[in-house]
Chains A and B, each alone.
Chain A
Amino acid sequence: MGRAECLQALRREKAGRTPWILVPGVYAGKVTGCGAEAVLRDADQMAEGFLACRERYAPDGMAVFFDTTVEAECLGCDLIWPKDAPPRVENHPLADTEEMLCRCMLPSEYDGRLPVILPAMRRIKEAAGEDTALIAPICGPFTLACQLRGERLWTEDLAGSPGYLQEILNYCAEAAFNLLGLYIGAGMDAVVLADPMLHKVPAERMGPLLADSYRAVFDLIRARGALPGLMAQDISAAQLEALCGLGPDWIFADGALPGAAAAAGKHQVCFAAGLSGQALLGGAADAAAELRRLREDLPGQDGMLWGAGPVPYGAAEETVAAAARALGEEGR
C-alpha cells in the first residue's frame, strides 16, 4: 500500500509507479457479512468494512464509503434501501416549488448519517491513515440537484429556467462546503465529488452551468489542505475535457476513454482510469478484458492512477480479487 505514491499521483507529481484506488462501496458490507444497508448506517460496520477490504485488496488509496444520498437525506429526501445496492431517493423536496430550501437545513455534523460517517472516518484514519490515502465522497452538486428537484430539472429547468437551476446548484455547493470541512477535519486526504448524473449534461453546457459551483467547492477543498477530485461515470472524452475545465486536481472515470489521460494532462488534472462496476459484475474475464482496453488507451504514466469501483454488491469475490491483483501488478 502506498499512500504517499497515491497522493503524489493525485497531485500529478512523479510517483515512480502507477498507484491504484479502490471504491468498495456497499461491497464492503458483503466482505464483512453485515450487508449493504448496515455498512452505510453503522459506524463500526462502515469502519470494519473499509478495513477488511483494505486488508484483502491492498489498494494505495480507498474511498471510505460510497453513497450519493447522504446529503439528500439531510435535506429532506426519504430513502429506499435495497438489500444489494446503495440507497436511492424516493421523493424530491423541490419537485413542487420554485423556491429554495432554507439554509438552516444545510447539513451539520448532527444531521442525517453524519453521526455515523464521521466517527467511522476518525477510526479509519487512526487504523489506516498512515499507509492508505483516504478519500471522502461528497455528492456532486448536479447529482444532488437532480435528487432535490426530480424530473422537472430535465423537463423545465435545463431548458427554460437555468437561473433557478443555478440557485439549486449554488445551494448544493453550500451543502458541500459544510461536508468537506467535516470530512477534512476527520482526517481525509482527498475529497471527491461523486456525480453519477453528470454524463447526462452535454459537454458544451458543462462550463456555463457548473463552473461557479464546482470551482468554488474544489477551491475550498484545496484551501483546506485536501486534494479535490471528481468522479463521473459513462462520460465521453468531450465531457471529460469539459469537466477538467472545472478545476479539480483529479478525475476518476470508468470505462475506456481514448485520449483521456492526454486531455486531462492538458488541464494539469490527474486521471484515474477505473474498471467499471459493470465489468466487475460480469466476472473475471470481463474485468480482465476491460483492463486490457484501458491499458491500450492509457499506458501507465505519471499523473494517472488505476481504479476500481464502486464495486457492485453482486460482484464475485474472485473477480474483485483478480482485478485487485491485476491493478496492483499494473502499478509495479
Chain B
Amino acid sequence: MTITLKTIQTHHVPVQYYEGGEGQPLVFLHSAGGITGEDPFLKKLAEKYHVYAPLLPGYGDSEECAELRDMLDITLHTADVIDALGLKDPILAGHSMGGMIAAELAAIAPHDVSRLALICPAGLWLDDHPVPDLFSLMPYEMPQYLFHDVEAGTALMTAGVAIDDSEWLKAYLVRNARQMGMAGKILFPIPDRGLSQRLYRIKAKTVLVWGDSDRLTVPAYAHAFKKAISGAELVSIAEAGHYVTLEKSDQVVAAIGRLG
C-alpha cells in the first residue's frame, strides 16, 4: 500500500498530510506522538479507505504555526484542512490527542460530521483517574503507559535511538520540542479544554475504541465518553494499551467499519 506525503495550503500555514488507499474518504488525526508514512496502522486503514492523515503544524518537518494557540484555533484549523482537501463529511477518526480534536470538531460543527471514530481520545479529566503527566515522563518511562505489551512497546520506541550521539540527540530534542510543544497547547498541563460541556452537541454516529490495558487514559474514560455522546458505541479491545492502533490494528479498523 503506497502512502504519499503531500502538502496543501491552508489559511495559516501549508499543511503536510499522508494520503493513500481507495474507498470512502477517511480523515485520521494523529496522537501527540505523531505519525509517519511507515505507520502500520495507517497502512491498514489505507487497505480499506481513502485515507488522509494531516500533520498538526510542527509535526514531522511541517511548518509550525504560532497563530494556533488554543483549542478553538486548532479545531477550526482542522476544519480548514478538511475543506482544503476538498472533502465533505468524511469519516472522521482520531487517536488520543487526535481523537480530542475530532470530538471537538464534531461538537462544534455537528452537521458536518456524521461518522466519528474516537480511539482512546484525550479531552476529559476524571479526578479519580488522573491522566499521567505525559510531558514530564522520560522516554524510558513511556512504554509502561502506552502499551499492553511493555517489552514489545519498548523495542518499538527505542528502535533507531542513539542517545549517545549528540547530533541525534539534538535532532530528537528539536523534534520533541516542535511536536510536543504543539501538543502542549492542547494537552498541557491537564488535557481538558472544556470538551465535556460540548460533547452533547455531537450528532455523528460515534464509535469509541479502547484498549482494555490503556494505562494513560484508563477505560473509565471510555465510559465517560460513552455516557456523554448520545448513541455512542464502545468497542473494547483486549490485550491492548493506549497504542491500540499498533497493538491491534485489525480490530481497530474493524471497529471503524461499524460506522458503515
Do they bind each other? no
Residues in B lying within 8 Å of A, measured CB to CB: none
